[in-house]
A and B are shown apart, each in its own frame.
Chain A
Amino acid sequence: MLSGLAKSYGPVRAVRCLDLVIAPGETVALLGPNGAGKTTTIDMMLGLTRPDDGTVSIFGAPPAAAVRDGWVGAMLQTGSPLDHLKVRELVRMMASYYPHPLAVEEVLRVSGASDFAERWTTKLSGGQAQRVRFAAALAGDPDLLLLDEPTAGIDVEGRRDFWQAMRAVTERGKTVVFATHYLEEADAYADRIVLIARGEIVADGPATEIKAQAGARSIRATLPGVDVEALSALPGVRSAQRHGDAVLLSCTDADAALVALLAAFPGTRDIEVTGGSLEEAFLELTAADADAGRQTTEAAVR
């Protein structure tokens, strides 16, 4: 769908040469720290932003045509519902723009907005407003849903509810692409994760594969006064960090690393070997890039 996509804002290269093919029916997470180019990519997929280079094609058509024919629904990062309307009216209005919309009641039910359908759009909580934006994206029954950080600013419970509603949509065979910087979300709800950092695809595959790619496990232990360099040099260790007396080793081969660690530092205590979380994989992959900045890591940790 995307080929050789590039976009710069002045000296900032937001997206560089992005190639991505998404099959119909897939649920794909664009995972990356803030400023990675997720929003720019989605805007280009929607035809809101013109790429400097490369092309986007949606079901074989350029974005503008796909949008005009009602194939695409989107939840943008910015935007709040129109004022002087009730929730139901807003959904009805959105639905009226599309050639084959869903029934208004159906949209309200699926998006979880039924309970406040008669409320003014300006009198909603953050979570409710997000539901309404979701409903607006669903109203036209589009085949492709693009969601730009759909759960930003929503509490944990609200997020879970949202993804539950989302499941109902993906079960109908819709293609969903969502941008997020929540690793758990990408891990739990996407078939496939496309990791983006500094405008480039760093990794692309099923969540499990991404984890494997980044080294499966890590070792935590208490080891006072040890040189991080020495730890990094141990066999099977990809990188080492020290926080006070605690050390954290990201491993390519945790078994070999553990043996070597105990041999080299018999005083090691409180050893813990953990399966790699996506979070670590994420840090690993985004930091693997030569010019990985501190900014990236900070954003990723958020």
Chain B
Amino acid sequence: MIHFRYEILRTLRNRVFYAITLALPLVLFYSVASGQRHATFDGTAFPLYFMTAMAVYGAMYAVVAPGARIARDRSRGWLRQLRITPLRARTDFAAKVAAAYLLALPTLALLYLAGASLGVRLSAAQWLELTGLLVAGLVPFVVMGFILGYLLPVDALAAGLGGVVVLFALLGGVFGFQLATSGPLFDVLKCLPSYWLVQAGKVTLGGGGWPAQAWIVIAVWTAALIPAAALAYRRAASRV
């Protein structure tokens, strides 16, 4: 479908943005993990942990990217223009979500290769399982991108999206340290989707996948965010 194709094309043509979402996690991965190839962290090999973390980091940027495009289109009055075409809002959403994931996949692939180069070994089934968990865990971030895109003015958007990604990344343990490993703070951190995203590598290697809590956390965040996104869309669309 042409709308979907142009969604992807328009993201790819935003070259600087796309290059950064690809390169930044890769550079961070090598600069931190290459010195700690044989270290153990959070009960698993550091390269596996940090590979997953950086894949999550890059993919988070990729899936909130539609938010940036939404805000720009909105500032150009395009939301109103689209509303007077037969294109349904949900078709537009679906295309944006699909484009977001499609653009997150190269980030994952790059980080997997980088991880493998530093000794991460998973079976084909495990790579697939890891990817599946990341795709599922990223859903709340896709929705967050939409919300910010419909709510924030375009000049506040980069800060808004970047802030959300960095905050969730930090709290989720993406940057190679965890703020808590026990106690009440840890209980709070375990309610964040980014925590479970980072854990995806470890649980894949250990087998058995995410515990039920992870799925509940992802589901609750998604269920809470979708109505907020619908509200944000309606607010933006009704504005003159």
Contact = CB atoms under 8 A, between A and B. Distances in A.
Contacts, number: 69
A191 interface: no
Interface residues of A, number: 31
Contacts of A74: 84
Contacts of A140: 85-86
Main secondary structure of the interface of A (DSSP, over half): loop
B72 interface: yes
Nearest to A90: B6
A76 B3 CA distance: 21
A85 B10 contact: yes
B86 A70 contact: yes
Contact of B76 (A46, A83, A92): A83
Given A70-B86, A84-B14, A89 B80 contact: no
Contacts of A76: 77, 80-81, 84
A76 B240 CA distance: 11
Interface in B2-40: 2-3, 6, 9-10, 13-14
Given A78-B80, A80-B77, 11 more contacts: A43-B240, A46-B84, A48-B83, A48-B84, A67-B85, A76-B77, A79-B78, A80-B76, A82-B10, A83-B10, A140-B85
Main secondary structure of the interface of B (DSSP, over half): helix
Interface residues of B, number: 22
A58 B80 CA distance: 19
A96 B6 CA distance: 11
Interface of B: 1-3, 6, 9-10, 13-14, 72-73, 76-78, 80-81, 83-88, 240
Nearest to B82: A97
A79 B84 CA distance: 13
Contacts of A79: 76-78, 80-81
Among all A-B residue pairs, the 5 with the closest Cβ atoms: A79-B77, A96-B2, A84-B10, A78-B77, A97-B87
Nearest to A122: B76
22 contacts: A46-B84, A47-B83, A48-B80, A49-B240, A68-B86, A70-B85, A72-B84, A73-B84, A76-B77, A78-B77, A79-B76, A79-B77, A79-B78, A80-B76, A82-B73, A82-B78, A85-B6, A85-B9, A94-B85, A96-B2, A97-B3, A97-B85
